Structures are given as structure tokens and as C-alpha cells.
Amino acid sequence: MNPPDGFVGGFREAAPYINHLRGKTLVIGIAGSLLQGPPLRRLAADLNLIASLGVRLVVVHGSRSQINRLAQADGLTPQYHQGRRITDEATLQYAKQAAGILRSDIEAALYSSFAQSPQRSKPISVASGNFISAKPMGVIDGTDMGYTGLVRKTDTEAVRQRLDDGAIVLISPIGHTLSGKTFNLSMGDIAEAAAVALQAEKLIYLIEQDGILDSDGRLITNLSAEEARRMMAKNQAAPRQERLLRYAVNAVGHGVGRTQILNGNDDGSLIRELFTRHGAGTSVARDAFVRIRQAHHDDIPAIMSLIRPLEEQGILLRRSREYLEDHIGSFSVLEHDRCLYGCVALKTFADPQSAELACLAVSPDAQAGGYGEMLLKHITDQARRKNIRRLFALSTHAGEWFAERGFQTASADDLPEERRRDHVEGGRNSKIFVYPL
């Protein structure tokens, strides 16, 4: 039988995410620099596609680069304080102008990408409006921020109503006060505030970098809120990335499922982020994305579906459901995004200094990603804590894997008495390895 080709495999991977996101609200903040030419057209097509799957979309656009261009055309240099724009009277006019043009360009791009999708009978409407009320940022360290504002409130009822009507909600980075004054807001602030107010499933930032980068410039694919906080405390992120991390941590700390930060210039990144297991950028979640924990009884069906095919191929020793029920306490499981992708057991013997690393398995679609190694480390740490000195492993197919990780060849005579008996009687002729701890 042939393995599924790329399309079938990809579709199977995407289907659970499609089902999960149907009816959920996503708030997507898009940097202004991405909202022109081909990147805008590609993003609009992908937003249309995602909305057509029944996902409720709130799009917040930025306008930083557009405002800068308008100011520079008039010979003015944009002024910033602590990374925030200082908005004087002239800059406020540019901000309003940029928001108007961008809103119209985004609506046009969404409309024309609909025209190119023949399966759709009518375009998704776009709803804009005064959903965000503002308050002045005021004077910071002696610097008057002028018409730069902060989000005061999101009109969640109005937004929800538009979403219920099937519209994509489009929010510009402009807000008003009750006294009728207009303030220039930041896309990042609005997206975070709206995601929290709407208790969105996801807050997504499309930026010009691949996501959050480490000190060597490499993409960090997953962060728990705790890890993100630690990065900020150690000043490990560049100022703009630091602000994104702050939004992410704040949002997931206030009930948003996950914050995802990715490169909007990279064609298809949004689709990959949402509908593949590994995504395309950085995902910040409240808890660790990949974790190993003690197995419990509810895990037995998932463990069985992981190990049965391997048992049938003779790779793993057969274990009945009853065996798993009786010995579940010795199993640990590896979860990736709350799905079970691996397991391992620490089997102990009458000899308190010996134990066996048993039933190590990683789901075939997640192999070669380091999970086997993580499970191995987990079990060696566990064995060390139990003062075990010799960790055995018996394998018919993965001998090389153990040998490359420091296991030494051993013989049946080295095994604890009861394991030697099983080994001989079982007739599986497994290779025996031992890891001195």
C-alpha cells in the first residue's frame, strides 16, 4: 500500500483544525507594510478562504509605514518616544488619511479575491465602524504624546453582531473619545484588546519577520507564557518583538487560546500556521506546547492506537488492555498540542537497581523531530531519581537508535532474573542493551 501523497496527508492533517476553528473568533493584526501589492492580494485571498470555512474574522490593520510615507512626502521626520509614535496635529491627519486609504484597499482586495473564487455565490461583506473607543496616552517621561492614544474599550456587542451577520470585521488603528476627539492608536494594542474583549480563540500578528527570534536570529516555534515572560525579563528580545511578546502573554493570560506571530510576506504562512501541526511562525500558549506527563487511564485508547500497529509488525511486545490498565502508572506520554504523540514506560524489577525502558514509541507522523530523545531523557531522569543504576532496553528494530544514544550491548545473562525468563520464553530474540546511570 502506498503512503498518502502530499495532498492527502496535508488534508488529513488540516481537517481537525478546520473543524476546531469553525465558529471560532480569530483576531488578526496585520502590519501596514504588508498591505500593498502582491502581499495584500495574497492575504486577502487567504482571509476569504478562512472566512469561507466558517471562521469569524476580526482584522485589525496597521498603518505605520503609510503614515511615515505621507509625513516624509511633506518633509517631516516621524517622531517616536519609547517606540511609540508622537502624534501631532499634522500626523493625526496623515493617520486618518492612511486609515481611509487602507480600509478601501483592503475592502477592494477582499472583494476581488472573492471574484476569483468560483465556488462562492456572494462576497463576504466587510464591516468597519467605530468599534474602538480611545483615551489619550498623555505625557510619558515628560514627553507629550499628543494625539497618540490607548484603547479604552472594544464595543464587543457591535463586533459580535457583525460577525453573527457573517461579515469580516475590519478595524482601523483610529479611535474616538466621548468628547469627539480622534486618536491615533497602535494596531498591536487594538488587536490584543479586541482579542481579550471578544475572548477570541486566537490572536494572530502578521509581521515582516518569521515570528519571535532567538538571540541567533532563529525562529522560536513554540513558547509557553512562562517562557515568553522569562525572555522578556532577560531582555532577550528586540524592542518590537518584546512588545509582541507582551501582547501575547497578556492575551493568553486573559483567556485567549493562543497568540501566533508569523511572517505575512511568506505566501501561505497563515494557512500553514492555522492548519498544520507545526505551523509557520511562533505560537505562544498558556501552557507548554509539547510536554511529557504521567499517563492516566483516559490515555489508554490513544496509547493502544499508537502501539497496536507496531505490535502487529513485531516491533513492540504485545500488551493487552488489561496489562495497560494494571501498569498505567509506569507509563509516561508525550503530548503535542494536547494530542498524544508518544509513550514510554519504566518497568521495575525485584532488583531495585535495575529497570527497563519499555514500550518507547513515537507516532510515525511525528518521528525524527526529537520526541524519541525527549522521552528517553524523561525516563533516564526518572530512573536516576529512583536510584536505578542499570537501565535496560530490548529492541528488535531500534538497536542502532539506542546504541547511538549511549546504550551498550548486553546479553540475556545481564538481565534481572524475571526479565531473562520472559525474554527467553517470548522467543522474540530482541537485542539487549544497557545504559549505566
Q: 125, 167 in Cβ contact below 8 A? A: yes
Q: Find the binding residues for ligand ARG in span 141-200 (CB under 6 A).
A: none
Residue among 29, 146, 279, 342 that touches ligand ARG (CB under 6 A): 279
Among ligand COA, ligand ARG, none, residue 23 binds (CB under 5-8 Å by kind)? none
Closer residue to ligand COA in complex, CB, 94/433: 433
Our finding on whether 45 is near ligand COA (CB under 6 A) is no
Our finding on whether 401 is near ligand COA (CB under 6 A) is yes
Our finding on whether 395 is near ligand COA (CB under 6 A) is yes
CB of 258 to ligand ARG, least distance (A): 6
Residues in the chain: 437
Q: DSSP assignment, residue 146?
A: B
CB of 365 to ligand COA, least distance (A): 11
> Of the listed pieces 42-50, 178-186, 248-256, 370-378, which binds ligand COA according to CB under 6 A?
370-378
Listed residue (332, 341, 342, 347) closest to 378, CA to CA: 332
Our finding on whether 276 is near ligand ARG (CB under 6 A) is yes
Please, which residues have CB within 8 angstroms of residue 155's CB and are 6 or more apart in sequence?
130, 131, 132, 133
Listed residue (238, 338, 233) closest to 283, CA to CA: 338
Q: 249, 243 in Cβ contact below 8 A? A: no
CB of 414 to ligand COA, least distance (A): 17
Listed residue (99, 160, 104) closest to 134, CA to CA: 99
CB of 85 to ligand COA, least distance (A): 46
Burial class (CB in 10 A: 0-12, 13-18, 19+), 326: exposed
Our finding on whether 361 is near ligand COA (CB under 6 A) is yes
The full 3-state SS of 196-233, as one line of letters, equals HHHCCCEEEEEECCCCCECCCCCECCEEEHHHHHHHHH
Rounded to whole angstroms, the Cα distance separating 47 from 190 reads 19
Residue among 18, 302, 304, 315 that touches ligand COA (CB under 6 A): 315
Please, which residues have CB within 8 angstroms of residue 420's CB and are 6 or more apart in sequence?
412, 413
Our finding on whether 281 is near ligand ARG (CB under 6 A) is yes
Our finding on whether 25 is near ligand COA (CB under 6 A) is no
Q: 298, 322 in Cβ contact below 8 A? A: no
Residue among 143, 221, 236, 250 that touches ligand ARG (CB under 6 A): 221
Residue among 397, 406, 409, 417 that touches ligand COA (CB under 6 A): 397
Among ligand COA, ligand ARG, none, residue 130 binds (CB under 5-8 Å by kind)? none
Closer residue to ligand ARG in complex, CB, 221/250: 221
Q: What angle do CA 202, 204, 208 make, to 5 degrees?
A: 170
Closer residue to ligand COA in complex, CB, 193/362: 362
CB of 396 to ligand COA, least distance (A): 7
Among ligand COA, ligand ARG, none, residue 398 binds (CB under 5-8 Å by kind)? ligand COA
**Beta strand spans in 68-141 (E):** 80-81, 84-85, 126-127, 132-136, 139-140
Among ligand COA, ligand ARG, none, residue 224 binds (CB under 5-8 Å by kind)? none
Among ligand ARG, ligand COA, none, residue 371 binds (CB under 5-8 Å by kind)? ligand COA
Closer residue to ligand COA in complex, CB, 247/289: 289
Q: What angle do CA 323, 324, 326 make, to 5 degrees?
A: 65
Which residue shows C-alpha cell 505575512? 264
Residue among 10, 17, 78, 311 that touches ligand ARG (CB under 6 A): 17
Closer residue to ligand ARG in complex, CB, 146/281: 281
Q: What is the CA radius of gyration of the chain?
A: 27
Rounded to whole angstroms, the Cα distance separating 96 from 63 reads 10
Our finding on whether 336 is near ligand ARG (CB under 6 A) is no
CB of 279 to ligand ARG, least distance (A): 2
> Would you tell me which residues interact with ligand COA (CB under 6 A)?
310, 315-316, 360-362, 367-373, 393, 395, 397-398, 400-401
> Would you tell me which residues interact with ligand ARG (CB under 6 A)?
17, 221-222, 258, 273-279, 281-283, 337
